[in-house]
Amino acid sequence: MQGYIIKVTKAREEDVIVTIIAKDTLYTLYRFYGARHSQINLGFKIDFEAESNAKVSISRLRKVMHLGFPWITDRPRLFVWQQFTGLFYKHLQDSEDLDPFYFNLLEVASSIWKIENPKRIAIESYVKLLNFEGRLHTDMHCFFCEGEIKEKVTLIRAFLPAHAECIHAIPLDIKAIQELFTTGSSLFLDDKEIERIWHVLLEGF
C-alpha cells in the first residue's frame, strides 16, 4: 500500500515510530533500524507493508520503498511540504479510519508542487479541507465581535475571518479572500498576502 508520512518519532536507539496517511487509514507503525533500510522522512510518500504481531501492540513497518517526487531535491519546496504535511498529524492523530479525501488531497498537492508557489497550493488545499469538514466560514462575519466584515478583513487560525482592527492585524484584500473561499483560488492574493496567510496556516488545522 502507499501513504504519506506525517510524523516520525524517535523511539529507542535509532528505531522510530512512523505515522502514515494511507488511502483510508491512519497508520502508526514501528520501524526497526537497519543499515539496508530505505530512508524515511517527514512528508515522504512510500510504498510499505504493515506487519501485525500478537505479542506487541503496534504493527511493524516493513518493505518500505520511497516514491520520490520530481521536486524532492528542491530544498525550499521540500521544506514547505514537510511543514504542510506535518500539520496533518495533530489534526488526525486520534483517527484510525479515514475518508480518502485526505490522501487524495496530498496526491493532488504533490502533483503540482513543482509547478506553482507551494505556499499557494498549501493554502488552497487547506481551504478544500475546511470546506470538506464543514468548517469554512464564507459569511464574512468577525469571529471576535460578530459584526459583518465589509472591508479590512484578516484571518486567524482555521481561517476564521475577523476585522483587522479587532485583532490589530494587517488587512487582506476582502474580495481576494472571498474569491479564495468560494472558488478555492488564491489568484487575486499577492505574494505578501500569501506569506501572511501561510503563517496563519502554520498555527494548525
Domain boundary among the residues 94, 115, 136 is at: 115
- Tell me the C-alpha distance between 89 and 204, whole Å: 10
Phi, psi torsion values for 17, nearest 5 degrees:
-105, 130
16 and 109 belong to one structural domain: yes
109 and 158 belong to one structural domain: no
What rounded mean pLDDT belongs to the chain?
Answer: 93
- Tell me the C-alpha distance between 112 and 105, whole Å: 11
CATH of the domain at 93: 2.40.50
The pLDDT, as a whole number, for residue 12 is 78
Domain boundary among the residues 91, 115, 139 is at: 115
Phi, psi torsion values for 71, nearest 5 degrees:
-105, 15
95 and 125 belong to one structural domain: no
Span 141-186, pLDDT tens digits: 999 999 999 988 999 999 999 999 999 999 999 999 999 999 999 9
82 and 22 belong to one structural domain: yes
Span 104-113, pLDDT tens digits: 999 999 999 9
202 and 150 belong to one structural domain: yes
156 and 109 belong to one structural domain: no
125 and 46 belong to one structural domain: no
What single-letter amino acid sits at 135?
R
What is the number of alpha carbons within 13 Å of residue 116 lying toward its C-beta?
18
108 and 128 belong to one structural domain: no
Task: List the domain range (segments joined by +) for residue 170.
Answer: 119-205
What does the block give as the cell for 53? 504481531
- Closest to 82 measured CA to CA, from 23, 41, 138, 33: 41
Span 20-66, pLDDT tens digits: 999 999 999 998 875 466 678 999 999 999 988 766 678 999 999 99
- Tell me the C-alpha distance between 131 and 35, whole Å: 44
34 and 69 belong to one structural domain: yes
78 and 128 belong to one structural domain: no
109 and 139 belong to one structural domain: no
